[in-house]
Structure 1
Amino acid sequence: MKNLLLIILFVFLNNFIFAQTPVALDKEKLFDLYQTQHYDEAAKYLKSIYGEETTDFKTLSQIGYCYLMSGNNVEAEKFYLKAYAQQAQNLPVLFSLAGINSKRGNIEKSKLYYGEIVKIDSNNFSVYKQLANLYSSDIDSMKLVYLLKANSINPTEGDVAYDLADVYTTLQKREKAYKVLNIAIDADTGNIILQKAILPVANFLKKYKEVILSGEKILKVDQDPLVIKDVAKAHYYTKNYAKAANLFKLLEAMGLQNEATLYYTSLCYRAMKNFPLAKDYTKKTINEAISPNTADYYALLGLLYEETGKLPQANVAYKKGLEFNSTPTIYYRLAVLYDTKYKQVKQAKNYYALYLKSKPNPETDKDEIKYVKSRMEQLKMAD
């Protein structure tokens, strides 16, 4: 294949070279630059031969291509625009300009160039595929329009089928997503990406046996966590609770558990009458569902209430935070609240003591620690 490409490139270069006005062009040098992928040098060499201001369409296109391949999009666009000015309906030039603008974030310009291609060739699969990629949101109606058009032209192309199914899933149209993926999979039975993509869709459509059959084949060669989760859910819904629990626990062993997987694990143990483990996993589910920062959020809420004079609400917020995590910050805020606002010395002393026991950071909290120790001495002397 490599030799064939080199032969094609050699023929192209000969046609390109002899189509120009005879000049002192070193064909072997240019061919070597292409072969070694020194495209920037090739562009500069062509400019040195034909000049910066050449108006020959083939020369402009070739220099633009060299700069494009070298990653110099600015120079590539400059030469492609000159070529475009001469042949505005040339598809390779339009594709190149659209691609350059897409890479540089000029999405609207890219859409315009692709739009020109559609006017010339309304059944060009590639242009609809590229247009769809310019829309980042799956709920954008135009993305769906372009994916549908591309898929209608070539329903077996995997990338478009995957993206279209993803949009359908987002729009809660899973029957359509399933159909699109199945057509592409039938055409490419070895496409693991498509096989993985169809599993959650099939699970939703209650095609559990299909998920288990296909998913377990994938797991023999690829322990993908998402596949493990899909297969585990399928086993759960077919009442193979032991198998499901083992797969969910495999995710836990990998450190990839989440609220949902832990919840299903607890349900599996409940179904198997293993109530101790069911309780353990229900507790794990609750802990997973709660943010580790919840206590900090309540501490902030309490402080905001306190700063606006709403002391009862502040007290409630601080104590609610303690239900999630006994942080030094909350103990400190409660101690100060009872000490300075409520004037309840006994409660204040208790929270000051709890603050010191909660091991505040000796560096970042040194001022608070110093204050608490000093204040506790003062309160002790006042007794």
Structure 2
Amino acid sequence: MKYIFSLLLLTIFSHHLYAQNALNYDKEKLLEYYQSQRYAEAAQYLQTVYPEDTQDTKALNQIAYCFMMAGKLPEAEKNYLKLVAQTPTSVPVLFNLANINLRRGNGIKAKSYFESIIQLDSTNFNAYKKLADLYENATDSQKVIYLIKANQINPIEADVALDLAKAYQKLKKYEPAYDILLKAIAADTGHLILQQAKLPIAIQLKKYREVIETGEKLLTAGFDANVAKDVGMAYFYLKNYEKAISYFKMLEMITAQTESTLYYTSLSYRNLNNYLLAAEYAKKTIEEGISPNTSSYYLLLGGIYEINNKSTSAVTAYKRGLTFKENGNIYYRLGILYDFKLNQKKSALTYYNRYLKSKPDTAADKEQISYARARLAELKK
């Protein structure tokens, strides 16, 4: 009985010592670790202060936080899980667990924590924002729902307003997209990204003068190709074709033209009765719309037809590829086809000649060049 009593006193004394240690740890030392951002050392120090199996929420919070800031995410998660077991409704702890899982690439677990947060707090803006960020597709219905909720809670937060407006724009819901951006811009009139995002939406709503006014102000702050395009489009729709052309030409000067801007340049010249330049820009539009790799795609297609013994289809594909760009390899394949599959030696001779005149790479295509020359010599006999 005396032994048991002594053991009990020792246990109580040990707990008292732990409590004293916890209360009397070196706060200046810990502060130094924090200020110098030596969070891993801070966590290790705290682990020497508190017992390994401590259930002290303050201690667990400190240790978990330090591990998280040090990038030691498994250790941080382990300590936050101990906390969430004690206080399952703690929003800050759930948020930290969600963010840890995001950093570790586990979106599914992160999503479950964020969902728990909005069940506990239906007005938690950050949780809705984070949930929306988990969806890559801008128009995913669930992403849009989360963005709407976040925007309702905080309509002036720029990132959410921007994402929601862009989603609405893609869904062709221009009025709500415009209104959302207008509210966010009113709260931050110097936010250039929000103002820029509004321009293409305003064009869809035929607010052309507003686009010109805003766009030209933005361009004084620095040239942006998208802004110049939008301003040019606004002038085009107002039938001020000279001004439209001037903005579209700015894009050409920095090789930022697109199929669309070239098309509207052609239309502008046509409307000004300048048919020579209208035709020139119509041709440029066609060239811009064609990928420089198109002939290679037809080379691939022709080769597939060859493998399947569809020689006629292969010839058609190869010749179609040549309408986009001269391609030496296509000439070579046509030579082979006409030579051996279609038995048209005259055509084979023509395409072997064209292949050699296309100046193939003498190092990379050494074997093909030698073969084409040999076949030419043979066919000319």
* TM, length-normalised to structure 1: 0.90
What is the match of residue 364 of structure 1? 364
Deviation of 1:323 (Å) = 1.1
Alpha-carbon separation, structure 2, partners of 1:266 and 1:104: 51
* Aligned positions of 1:219-298 closer than 5 A: 219-298=219-298
* d(CA) in 1 for partners of 2:165, 2:256: 25
Q: In the TM superposition, what are the counterparts of 1:1-383 in structure 2 within 5 Å? A: 21-23=19-21, 25-380=25-380, 382=381
Cα offset, 1:305, TM superposition: 2.5
Greater displacement, 355-364 / 250-259: 250-259
Q: What is the root-mean-square deviation in Å for CA atoms of aligned residues? A: 1.6
Helix, strand or coil: the match of 1:190?
coil
Distance in structure 2 (CA, Å) of the matches to 1:304 and 1:112: 48
Q: Counterpart of 2:57 in structure 1: which amino acid? A: F
User: d(CA) in 2 for partners of 1:49 and 1:187?
Assistant: 48
Question: How far apart are 1:334 and its partner, in Å?
Answer: 1.5
Contiguous gaps of at least 5 residues in structure 1? 1-19
Q: Cα deviation per residue 1:244-290 (whole Å; 9 max; x = unaligned)?
A: 21211211222222211111121222222222222221111111111
Q: Quote the Cα distance in structure 2 between the aligned partners of 1:190 and 1:224.
A: 16
Residue by residue over 1:188-241, the C-alpha shift from the partner in whole angstroms, topping out at 9 and shown as x without a partner, is 111111111111110111111111111111111121211111111111111222
Per the alignment, do residues 142 and 347 of structure 1 end up closer, same or farther by CA in structure 2, a change over 3 Å counting? closer
Which runs of 5 or more residues in structure 2 are unaligned? 1-17
1:344 deviates by 2.6
Secondary structure at the residue paired with 1:21?
helix
The structural deviation recorded for 1:21 is: 2.5
- Percent identity, aligned pairs only? 53
Quote the offset at 1:151 in angstroms: 1.3
Q: How many residues align?
A: 362
Tell me the CA shift for residue 173 of structure 1: 0.9
C-alpha separation in 1, matches of 2:29 and 2:101: 31
Shift in CA distance, 353/61, structure 1 to aligned 2, threshold 3 Å: same
Q: CA deviation at 1:293?
A: 1.5
User: Does the residue aligned with 1:22 lie in a helix, a strand or coil?
Assistant: helix
Letter in 1 for 2:241: Y
CA distance 1:54–1:319, change in 2 (3 Å): same
Give the 3-state SS of the residue equivalent to 1:172 in structure 2: coil
CA distance in 2, matches of 1:73, 1:110: 14
Per-residue CA shift, 1:302-337, capped at 9, x if unaligned?
233233333322222222222111211111112122
Distance in 2, Cα, partners of 1:129 & 1:340: 64
SS class of match (1:117): helix
Give the distance between the partners of 1:321 and 1:121, measured in 2 at CA.
60
Q: Are the structure 2 counterparts of residues 317 and 135 from structure 1 closer, same or farther at C-alpha, using a change threshold of 3 Å?
A: closer
Alpha-carbon distance, 1:35 to partner: 1.4
Q: Secondary structure at the match of 1:206?
A: coil
